[in-house]
C-alpha cells in the first residue's frame, strides 16, 4: 500500500482538502501515482499554478520522501515533500525545486509568545504550533541538505506567494 492510499485527504467533502482532478495539462504531471491530493486551499492553488503556468515544465505531488530526525519521537521519520517541480528560468536554464506549502502561522517569525495572563487554551495552541514549527524546522534542514547534494532548491511557500504571484 503506497503513501497516498494510506494518507487520504482528511475530509474529501470540504473545499480545503481533496483530489485535484481537473488537469488541463496532464502531460506536465509526472507523478507515478496519478492521484493528486491537496491538503489545503493553498495546495489547491499551487496545483492550479503548476498545471497552468507555462514556466513549469513538469511537476509531481508528494512524489518521494526525505528522511529526517524527528525531534520529539527521537527517531528517523519520513518527510513526504509537497511538490517537485522543474521550472524554465528567464535565461533558458531549467531549475529543479522542492516545494513545501505551509501557512505563515507555522513559521517561526509569525509565532508570538502568549502573555502570562493568557487562557489555558491560548497557551495550549501556542505550544502545539511551537511543536509544529520545531518539526518543520527539522524537515527544512533535511530537505535543504537533500537539495544541496542534488543541485535543487528547497522553497517554503506561504500566503504571501499567492498574493504576489501573477
C-beta separation of 101 from 50 below 8 A: no
The span from the CA of 152 to the CA of 69, in Å, is 21
Bridge partner residues of 84 (DSSP):
60, 98
pTM for the whole structure = 0.84
* Cβ 29 vs Cβ 57: under 8 Å: no
Instruction: Provide the residue range defining the domain that includes 85.
Output: 3-164
Residue 55 CB contacts under 8 Å (≥ 6 apart), including other chains: 87, 88
Mean pLDDT over the full length of the chain: 87
Report the CATH number that the domain containing residue 51 is assigned in CATH.
3.40.1350
Our count of domains for the chain comes to: 1
At 88-139, the pLDDT tens digits run: 999 999 999 999 998 887 776 767 788 889 899 999 988 998 999 899 999 9
pLDDT in tens, 24-82: 999 999 988 788 989 999 999 999 999 999 999 999 999 999 999 999 999 999 999 99
Which pLDDT does position 114 carry in this prediction?
85
- CA–CA separation, 46 and 156 (whole Å): 12
pLDDT in the model for residue 134: 93
Query: Whole-angstrom Cα distance, residue 27 to residue 34?
Result: 11
Amino acid at each position: 500500500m503506497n503513501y497516498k492510499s494510506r494518507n487520504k485527504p482528511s475530509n474529501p467533502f470540504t473545499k480545503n482538502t481533496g483530489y485535484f482532478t481537473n488537469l488541463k495539462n496532464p502531460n506536465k504531471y509526472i507523478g507515478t501515482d496519478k492521484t493528486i491530493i491537496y491538503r489545503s486551499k493553498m495546495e489547491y492553488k499551487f496545483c492550479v499554478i503548476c498545471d497552468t503556468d507555462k514556466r513549469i515544465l513538469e511537476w509531481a505531488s508528494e512524489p518521494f520522501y526525505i528522511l529526517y530526525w524527528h525531534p520529539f519521537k527521537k527517531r528517523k521519520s519520513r518527510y513526504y515533500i509537497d511538490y517537485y517541480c522543474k521550472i524554465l528560468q528567464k535565461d533558458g536554464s531549467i531549475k529543479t525545486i522542492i516545494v513545501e506549502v505551509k501557512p505563515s502561522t507555522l513559521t517561526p517569525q509569525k509565532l508570538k509568545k502568549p502573555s502570562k495572563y493568557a487562557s489555558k487554551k491560548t497557551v495550549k495552541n501556542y505550544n502545539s504550533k511551537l511543536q509544529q514549527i520545531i518539526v518543520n524546522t527539522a524537515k527544512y534542514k533535511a530537505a535543504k541538505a537533500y537539495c544541496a547534494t542534488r543541485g535543487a532548491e528547497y522553497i517554503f511557500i506561504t500566503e504571501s506567494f499567492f498574493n504576489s504571484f501573477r
